[in-house]
Amino acid sequence: MSAIQRPAIRLFRDGDAAAVAALVCAAPDGPCSFEHDDATALLAFDRQLRQRGHVAARLVAEAGDGLAAAAALFETRWGPGGVRRGWLLLRVAPAWRGRGIATRLFGQLRGAAQRAGLASLHADARERDAAAQRWAQRHGFAVQMRSILCRLELARATPRAGGAGAPPIATLAALQAAGAPDVLGRAFALYRTLLEDIPLPDQVVLTPEWFAEFIGVCPDLCLIAHDGGQFIGMCILQPAAGDASALEQRLTGVIASQRGRGIATALKCASLQAARAAGYRSISTWIEDSNAPMLAISRAAGFSEHPGMVVYHQSLTDRRRADHPSV
């Protein structure tokens, strides 16, 4: 390919959204975290970031009448310690891979992240995407964790009962019907607390309005453990996209002060029973390899494990710079 055809990097414009979404749709193993295969969703995501004052930038590499690649950087505000981190997205069209475009885009966004004062960059790649993993390692990223895809056929489920100290569990719908005070507000507060221990949440910008819509998708399959009026644990199941017989387990968590009572096991067991009673056939969920207790609970319930995502991180405060060869 001649030098004249070298893609030109420029700032993203709203009119590029459909082309960027098409790049994501073309990914052989599906999108990575926080990628959007729909133009409307992509623009809404960017709008939320701007409204909340997050550091955010998008670039595209233009080649002729189309896009050769797209990249994005946005600030994340989850995780412990109040550290400002950045999340990186990179997607290159198959015909343009191996020509250094990802390296050029990465260099510009890495510089933007440093100038904005972010402490680190994070990204993920499909575990089966060996080329993406090699690229990440060559460009100074280290493996932070694996996020394992776990699946269960409910007919084969072997749930165990929770510990003797497990508190009552009720659905969101039942709590609302019983007139419990401020159910949504307390559930949102619990969700935000649980996210402190979750490296890949469902949403980057958390608002009460978003949560009300998110949690309201299936209130009969949102389970809440409560004790003395306090919400202390939660399990959220939602219908899987494109499969009416399947569910996705979006979250299972217990606040730190209440762990060790068997609450997570009780929530998992109750969620499987509720899913089966509602006529669903399967459940999928993602569990990080750093979360040994939850992996043990899922294995005991009969979940099988499949290749998932590899999560990477790179310090932006270390003065030592990795080499960034073209790929």
- pLDDT tens-digit readout, 164-215: 678 999 999 999 999 999 999 999 999 999 988 777 777 888 889 999 999 9
Q: Please state which architecture CATH assigns to domain 158-301.
A: 3-Layer(aba) Sandwich (3.40)
Q: Mean of the pLDDT values across residues 311-317?
A: 95
Rounding to the nearest 10 degrees, give the CA dihedral for residues 120, 121, 126, 129.
-110
- Alpha-carbon radius of gyration of the chain: 21
Per-residue pLDDT tens digits for 66-123: 999 999 999 988 766 778 899 999 999 999 999 999 999 999 999 999 999 999 999 9
Position 164 scores a pLDDT of 65
Rounding to the nearest 10 degrees, give the CA dihedral for residues 86, 127, 34, 134.
40
> Nearest Cα to 48, choosing from 203, 205, 211?
205
Whether the per-residue pLDDT at 2 is higher than 50: the answer is no
Position 244 scores a pLDDT of 94
Instruction: Indicate the residue type of 51.
Output: Q
Whether the per-residue pLDDT at 324 is higher than 50: the answer is no
CATH topology of domain 3-147+311-315: Aminopeptidase (3.40.630)
> Cα separation of 104 and 61, whole Å?
9
> Cα separation of 202 and 190, whole Å?
15
**Token pair listed for 294:** 């939850």
Q: Are strands 282-288 and 304-315 parallel, antiparallel or unpaired?
A: unpaired
Whether the per-residue pLDDT at 159 is higher than 80: the answer is no
Whether the per-residue pLDDT at 62 is higher than 80: the answer is yes
Position 163 scores a pLDDT of 61
Position 38 scores a pLDDT of 96
Mean per-residue pLDDT over the chain, rounded: 91
Alpha-helix runs per DSSP H in 116-204? 130-138, 172-177, 183-195
Domain pair 3-147+311-315 / 158-301, same fold = yes
The domain segmentation of the chain, as residue ranges, is: 3-147+311-315, 158-301
To 5 degrees, how large is the angle CA 283–CA 128–CA 157? 20
Cα-based distances in Å from 318 to 21, 78, 86, 115, 224: 34, 22, 15, 14, 42
> Cα separation of 27 and 24, whole Å?
5
> Cα separation of 316 and 85, whole Å?
9
**Residue 107 zone, left/alpha/beta (φ > 0; ψ -120 to 50; rest):** alpha
> Cα separation of 101 and 125, whole Å?
17
Per-residue pLDDT tens digits for 257-310: 999 999 999 999 999 999 999 999 999 999 999 999 999 999 999 999 999 999
Instruction: Return the residue matching tokens 């690229």.
Output: 135
Q: Which residues pair with 88 in a beta bridge?
A: 73
Q: Residue 5 carries which DSSP code?
A: G
> Cα separation of 81 and 203, whole Å?
19
**Token pair listed for 113:** 């992240």
> Cα separation of 9 and 14, whole Å?
15
Position 319 scores a pLDDT of 57
